[in-house]
Amino acid sequence: MAMLVVVTEAVPPRMRGRLAIWLLEVRAGVYVGDVSKRIREMIWEQVQALAEDGNVVMAWASSHESGFEFQTYGRNRRQPIDYDGLRLVRFLPEEHN
C-alpha cells in the first residue's frame, strides 16, 4: 500500500465520478488515496480508458531516490523529462494560435 495522488484536467464528469469510487476528491480534480500496486494499475487503466481529450497525472510514494514516481496521460504544458536518471518536469512556453 502506498499513497497515491491523481490530478485531472478537462476530463469528462464520468471519469471524475469513477475515480471517486476509490479515492477522495480533496480539490476539484485532485484525488488522494492509499492503494496497493495492483489497485493503482487498475485505476490507471480506468484513466486511460475514460480521460478522452483531458490530461491526467498520477503520482505515488515509492522507494525511489525521490521517494515517489509519477506518470502522465494526455497533453499538458508540464512535461516529464529524464534528467540523469531523475525524472523532472519541463514547462513548455504557452502556445499562440
Q: Which of 3, 10, 52, 75 binds other proteins (CB under 8 A)?
A: 52
Instruction: Indicate left, alpha or beta for 88 from its phi (over 0: left) and psi (-120 to 50: alpha).
Output: beta
Least distance to other proteins, CB of residue 90, Å: 28
Distance CA 19, CA 47 (A): 8
- Smallest gap from Cβ 77 to other proteins, in A, equals 24
What is the C-alpha separation between 21 and 31, in angstroms, rounded? 11
Q: Which of 24, 86, 88, 92 binds other proteins (CB under 8 A)?
A: 24
Q: Contact region for other proteins (CB under 8 A) — 21-29, 55-63, 64-72, 79-87?
A: 21-29
User: Should residue 22 be labelled a site residue for other proteins when binding is judged by CB under 8 A?
Assistant: yes
Categorise residue 23: left if φ over 0, alpha if ψ from -120 to 50, beta otherwise: beta
